[in-house]
Structure 1
């Protein structure tokens, strides 16, 4: 967050209350960063009508854009901040997530900030929400904001992976997540906590191997993860009291610990996934966002390239 200079805030066109913009101003103020509020609109009826000429349809689109721009400028009057420059942009596009990511890339933004809400699980399998697309495909960090305040001296929960010490990519991503957390903790006087989950004892082993000691196996795995997360925490000057190691799936463990410590923010790494597997499996971040009552910051690994980036 030290290099936070440009924030792209996605506006909710259905509400006069914009938690994402309020959060972005909080983040931007100490850095003197610039904010651009972004609204992507589209009306299919304007594209399908055969009565109007192409020129007339274009004029109608421009009229709708002008109306939304005027609404946006009026909205911004309630969010003035002398330390932050706030600009606005309204774009006509039939796929909001594409317009957001493309604008973020072309404008060299440091982060995308967007309000979020509970998603319908069944519909999400068929029509992937914009939030999920952003977490999968945006090359910059994505902060999904719920409607609540960040208290002073709050808690930030970092989801790290310490299951494979030899995996350099995971180690690098762990460090990136923690660095983001420490920068935010300094700004908001917050505590940084680490969470790691580990898998339970495979049932098939207990069945196929009569002499297999499931308890000892589970305790060995737990101790390995506790030692690794303690080593990671120590390398970033984080107290071992703020380390949490739990058995289970990440999408279950992370929300549970977030509730237990009353976290205001969960930070985790996410990788892009496309195609049919993405619809059925999804990412941990996609499952977590619907199970926590706080903000979520999704970070891509170094070197990640969005499928929407042009060569």
Structure 2
């Protein structure tokens, strides 16, 4: 990985056109909204990290917290085994009550909700919409490869359908809000991620690193149609765009009194983000993503999803309207 981002959707050339339109730093808001949190949790041990960090974030940011569990409905099974259904229902409510007691002990305002249905991700997104939730928090299964997370994962589907930002917390992650890494490419998706990062950093007193990764694969793809000189010019232009995006974001954060540093890398965006997060000991990675996209578009190997499935720390997917 060379010291020289593109988080999900666009190329740096597209970003240059975007910047020329004059829509950039003016969209930044230094007060990210985390007043209403929705924790989607089941009885799995993989959710412990999400539970722990939801309570921590709610306490640090004086947020209200709703804890939700979904009981999957199967009419045939329910009719054949009502006693098992009752047992599951009791266990879910016991699970929620245990979280509520932990919240009470931590001094966090907490409400619990049980919903029934055959599509957990849709119910979670609907609950968030109805409650005007500002952030959904979810756990993540063990790192078993990209395909398993992407194929039918409730977490991935929630990211695609939710009306708000989604925080994904691995089981062992320690989210203290002390060190945040945000990836930007200068697009409106990157700007939205930086805006959210600035708000959280200012509110929680975090150290903020602003990263841009110039993707090496885009340069390699030019071998057939461009001369070496042409490639060098394109790389130089992309580097300048990345440096400009980082500098503008860094200056904006500094004006808000945030402790901030900037970093530009070259290579695969997902690898660059993960390496930088490890080097900076980040406990939160923030990335931009589209608004409601549906599974087909969400699961096309985007940088955001690749980072979520492999990151050792929590990842916040910041939603932007399509």
TM over 0.5: yes
- The 1:51–1:116 alpha-carbon spacing in structure 2 relative to 1, beyond 3 Å, is closer
Partner of 1:33: 63
Distance in 2 between residues matched to 1:212 and 1:32, nearest whole Å: 55
| Residue 194 (structure 2) pairs with residue 178 (structure 1) | yes
Which of 306, 310, 315 lines up with 1:291 in the alignment?
310
Report deviation, 1:210.
5.1
Query: Aligned residue for 2:92?
Result: 68
Q: 1:174 to 1:120 in 2, by over 3 A?
A: closer
Q: Hey, what's the Cα distance between the residues in 2 that align with 1:14 and 1:131?
A: 14
Alignment partner, residue 83 of structure 1: 107
Shift of 1:204: 5.7
Is 1:273 the equivalent of 2:293?
Answer: yes
Whether 1:92 and 2:88 are equivalent positions in the alignment is: no
SS at match of 1:80: helix
Give 1:1-311 correspondences, 5 Å limit.
2-15=32-45, 18-42=48-72, 44=74, 47-49=75-77, 61=85, 64-81=88-105, 83-117=107-141, 118-124=143-149, 127-146=151-170, 147-151=172-176, 154-162=178-186, 170-171=187-188, 173-200=189-216, 202-203=219-220, 205-209=222-226, 212=229, 214-215=231-232, 217-237=234-254, 242-271=261-290, 272-274=292-294, 276=296, 278-279=298-299, 281-301=300-320, 303=321
Q: Flag the 1:254–1:102 CA change in 2: closer, same or farther, 3 A.
A: same
- C-alpha change, 1:240 and 1:13, in structure 2 (3 Å) is closer
Gaps of 5+ in 2: 1-30
Which whole-Å CA distance do the structure 2 matches of 1:231 and 1:16 have between them?
A: 38
Q: Supply the RMSD in Å over aligned alpha carbons.
A: 3.1
Change (3 A) 1:3 1:130: same
The structural deviation recorded for 1:81 is 3.5
Alpha carbons of structure 1 residues 221 and 285: separation in structure 2 relative to 1, 3 Å: closer
Alignment coverage as a number of residue pairs: 286
1:240 is displaced (CA, Å) by 11
TM-score by length of 1: 0.78
User: Do the aligned residues in 2 keep the contact of 1:206 with 1:212 (CA within 8 Å)?
Assistant: no
Distance 2:106 2:137 in 1: 20
Structure 1: distance between partners of 2:308 and 2:285: 9
- Runs of 5+ consecutive residues of structure 1 not aligned to the other structure: 163-169, 305-311
Q: Which has the higher contact order (CA 8 A, sep 6+)?
A: 2
Assess, with a 3 A threshold, how the Cα gap between structure 1 residues 71 and 261 changes in structure 2: closer, same or farther.
closer
> 2: distance between equivalents of 1:8 and 1:82?
17
Shift of 1:266: 0.5
Q: Aligned equivalents of 2:289 and 2:87: distance in 1? A: 39
Q: Evaluate the alpha carbon distance shift between residue 72 and residue 276 of structure 1 in structure 2; reply closer, same or farther with a 3 A threshold.
A: closer
**Distance 1:34-1:227 versus aligned 2 partners, 3 A rule:** closer
Q: Whole-Å Cα distance in 2 between the matches of residues 241 and 110 of structure 1? A: 25
Return the alpha-carbon distance in structure 1 between the equivalents of residues 286 and 161 of structure 2: 17
The SS at the match of 2:43 is coil
Alpha-carbon distance in structure 2 between the residues aligned to 1:183 and 1:159 = 15
CA-CA distance at 1:15 after TM superposition: 2.9
Label 1:214 to 1:133 Cα distance change in 2 as closer, same or farther (>3 A): same
